[in-house]
């Protein structure tokens, strides 16, 4: 994705913010950019799960968008990435790290025998691929426990350290998801959103996890089918709407089985962590230095679970708690987004000049939002062309805007327009979230389902989701029901779950730095507290604020300073709150 300055609305300029990831819930967001006059968005990894969980502004595989929101609707400009992937060749096996992999709780191919682990990949052969980046591909086993099943090719990218004389090594980065392209993310983050010290001291490296964009991507439905899938009411309130939701989930599952059946059983987080170790070995790094955002923290925890002594330094920002069951994850996110929406309402209420919704509504803002939601539930608003804004697009668009305070003004504009009967801006926000461009969708949502449904058990009984939705309607009335129902897609998933929620201690690892933001919508702060506490050597750095994740070049010095120092020296700071 491009990292240059782009014109904002009006005459202002905007420094693009990177939006990695997603998490869970039918209302989460994808990586991309949103431009607003004089805004300086920070990193916003996010996503996790859901009928639609991903990030803003990514398009079809291998395509990036500028992510600008425009009025009236103008298609997002697609910037070809022209990533060059070369076959992996090079010298023989590297010296393996001394530890053998530990058995994880998944009980599947994620773990391999010590003998299998001794099969080292060849060194990566890099090829120049524009703007100083180098690209390649790494071949790994489809199934680490049974290498006769074939292989998968992983797409990689690297930006060499700008100060080679003081180079520390390679820093592997994952922006979140699951389903997000780490390669596309690093193209922008490395030269736009990252602290300068990272580019100076590290080769910044990423690979697309299996199932995503450039690495055996999961594909399930075409554009028209996905439009219908996302237009269905995400919080059904009668038997007919429940049937519609269930039917769309079944069509998605059948499409995934038909078009991507080979890869579906092998996209779990545990197996992706094995791929991380293959990448480490192919980079000829004796130990891993890693920066993971959002779902990327789950990858980090899975790596710690299997290879704790192969870690040099690890930063986990916007953490998930690996002990969480399906309902704990969904309920946690529901509360997180409800809290974030409350923060937005308070901001809008006191910022009349910058929040158009406050100017458009004479009374209570929350009640006005609820009135819009009730209206689109009965009669969708006109969007662009033949597309309309129903409950799904409202949910995704509003959820997208809660990932970063830099989006808050856009949400005010979009809701003010909706108040007047125009759904255009809400549709654009929804499309950013779902990574839809004029040419179609990326595969982020499909990959998101594939990973989440395999990573933990989900109830097969549709009543379990109804029960959770009823409970969350009381605790988080605006976002709770839709996030609760987002898990129902896993009830009909064609591949059984192999992962299990469990504590990760990482015994034998060095200190691990966990970052939590107190009002994070997608990964609630309590999850960061939980992960730091269960790790044998966890250190919690608390960011008091709003938005999803904290560490970026635009973050407060009390965050950037300790994280930079830790990554460079591998010496952890003391726990802190700022």
The answer for residues whose C-beta is within 8 angstroms of residue 68's C-beta and 6 or more apart is 6, 7, 8, 33, 34, 35, 76, 77
pLDDT digits (tens, 9 = 90+) for 266-291: 999 999 999 999 999 999 999 999 99
| CA gap 446, 255 in Å, rounded | 10
DSSP secondary structure string for all residues of 551-566: -STTS-HHHHHHHHHH
Task: Read off the pLDDT of residues 514-533 as tens digits, 9 standing for 90 and up.
Answer: 999 999 999 999 999 999 99
Quick one: how far is CA 565 from the chain centroid? 25
Q: How many angstroms from the chain centroid is the CA of residue 191?
A: 20
Lowest mean pLDDT among 97-111, 152-166, 367-381, 539-553: 97-111
Closest CA to 305 of 469, 524, 105: 105
Helix (H, G, I), strand (E, B) or coil at 517: strand
pTM of the predicted structure, to 2 decimals = 0.83
pLDDT tens track for 477-526 = 999 999 999 999 999 999 999 999 999 999 999 999 999 999 999 999 99
On the 0-12 / 13-18 / 19+ scale of CB atoms within 10 A, 228 is middle
Annotate 528-550 with DSSP letters as a single string: HHHHHHHSTTEEEEEEEEESS--
Question: Could you give the percent of the chain with pLDDT greater than 90?
Answer: 78
| Sequential DSSP letters for 180-221 | --HHHHHHHHTTTTS-HHHHHHEEEEEEPPTTSTTSS-----
Exposure string of 532-569, with b = 16+ CB inside 10 Å and e = fewer, is bebbebbbbbbbebbbbbbbbbebeebbbebbbebbbe
Identify the residue with better confidence: 95 or 133: 133
| Average pLDDT of span 534-550 | 96
Catalytic center residues: 294, 520, 548
Distant-in-sequence contacts of 360-363, Cβ < 8 A, 24+ apart = 360/415, 360/416, 360/419, 360/420, 361/416, 361/419
Question: What is the mean predicted confidence (pLDDT) over 76-83?
Answer: 23
For residues 556, 566, 181, 554, the Cα torsion angle rounded to the nearest 10 degrees is 10
5 pLDDT exceeds 60?
no
pLDDT band at 118 (very low <50, low <70, confident <90, very high): low
What number of other Cβ atoms are within 10 A of residue 243's Cβ?
Answer: 12
Angle between helical axes of 269-282 and 444-455 (0-180°, round to 10): 110
Q: Tell me which residue of 299, 183, 180, 229 sits closest to 52, measured CA to CA.
A: 229
- Looking at residue 117, what is its pLDDT? 57
Residue 488 near residue 249, CB atoms below 8 Å: yes
pLDDT tens-place string over residues 206-229 = 999 999 999 999 999 999 999 999
From residue 344, how far is each of 21, 267, 393, 398, 555 by CA, in Å? 21, 36, 19, 10, 20
3-state secondary structure 346-415: HHHHHCCCCCHHHHHCCCCHHHHHHHHHHHHHHCCEECCCCCEECHHHHHHHHHHHCCCHHHHHHHHHHH
Output the pLDDT for position 174: 98
Q: Are 207 and 155 in contact (CB under 8 A)?
A: yes
């Amino acid at each position: 994705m491009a990292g240059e300055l782009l014109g904002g609305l009006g005459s202002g300029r905007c420094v693009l913010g990177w939006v990695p990831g997603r998490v869970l819930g039918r209302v989460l967001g994808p990586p991309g950019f949103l431009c607003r006059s004089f805004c300086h968005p920070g990193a916003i990894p996010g996503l996790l799960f859901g009928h639609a969980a991903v990030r803003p502004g990514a398009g079809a595989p291998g395509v990036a968008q500028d992510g600008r929101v425009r009025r009236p609707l103008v298609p997002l400009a697609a910037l070809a990435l022209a990533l060059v992937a070369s076959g992996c060749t090079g010298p023989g096996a590297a010296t393996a790290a001394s530890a053998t992999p530990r058995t994880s709780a998944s009980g599947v191919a994620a773990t391999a025998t010590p003998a299998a682990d001794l099969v080292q990949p060849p060194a990566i052969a890099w090829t120049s691929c524009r703007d100083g980046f180098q690209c390649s591909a790494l071949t790994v086993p489809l199934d680490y426990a049974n290498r006769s099943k074939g292989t998968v090719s992983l797409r990689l990218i690297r930006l060499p350290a700008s100060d080679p004389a003081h180079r520390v090594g390679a820093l592997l980065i994952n922006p979140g998801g699951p389903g997000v392209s780490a390669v596309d993310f690093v193209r922008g983050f490395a030269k736009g959103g990252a602290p300068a010290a990272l580019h100076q001291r590290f080769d910044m490296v990423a690979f697309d996890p299996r199932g995503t964009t450039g690495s055996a991507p999961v594909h399930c439905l075409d554009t028209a089918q996905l439009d219908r899938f996302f237009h269905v009411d995400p919080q059904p309130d009668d038997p007919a709407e429940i049937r519609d939701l269930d039917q769309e989930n079944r069509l998605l599952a059948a499409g995934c089985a038909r078009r991507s059946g080979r890869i579906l059983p092998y996209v779990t987080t545990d197996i992706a962590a094995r791929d991380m170790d293959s990448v480490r070995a192919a980079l000829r790094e004796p130990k891993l230095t890693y920066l993971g955002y959002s779902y990327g923290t789950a990858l980090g925890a899975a790596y710690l679970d299997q290879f704790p002594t192969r870690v040099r330094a690890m930063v986990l920002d916007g953490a998930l708690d690996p002990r969480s069951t399906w309902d704990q994850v969904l309920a946690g996110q529901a509360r997180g987004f409800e809290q974030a929406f409350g923060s937005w309402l308070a901001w809008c209420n006191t910022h009349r000049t910058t929040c158009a919704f406050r100017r458009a509504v004479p009374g209570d803002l929350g009640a006005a939002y609820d009135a819009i939601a009730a209206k689109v539930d009965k009669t969708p608003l006109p969007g662009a062309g033949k597309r309309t804004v129903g409950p799904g697009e409202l949910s995704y668009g509003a959820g997208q805007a809660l990932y970063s305070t830099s989006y808050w003004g856009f949400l005010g504009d979009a809701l003010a327009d909706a108040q007047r009967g125009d759904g255009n801006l809400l549709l654009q926000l929804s499309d950013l979230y779902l990574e839809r461009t004029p040419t179609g969708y990326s595969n982020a949502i499909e990959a998101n389902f594939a990973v989440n449904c395999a990573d933990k058990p989900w109830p097969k009984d549709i009543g379990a989701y109804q029960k959770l939705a009823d409970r969350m309607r009381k605790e988080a009335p605006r976002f709770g029901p839709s996030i609760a129902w987002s898990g129902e897609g896993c009830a009909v998933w064609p591949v059984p779950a192999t992962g299990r929620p469990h504590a990760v201690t990482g015994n034998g690892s060095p200190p691990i730095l966990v970052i939590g933001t107190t009002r994070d919508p997608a990964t609630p702060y309590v999850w960061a507290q939980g992960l730091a506490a269960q790790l044998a050597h966890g250190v919690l750095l608390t960011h008091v604020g709003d938005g999803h994740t904290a560490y970026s070049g635009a973050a407060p010095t009390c965050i950037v300073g300790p994280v930079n120092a830790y990554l460079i020296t591998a010496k952890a700071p003391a726990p802190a709150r700022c």
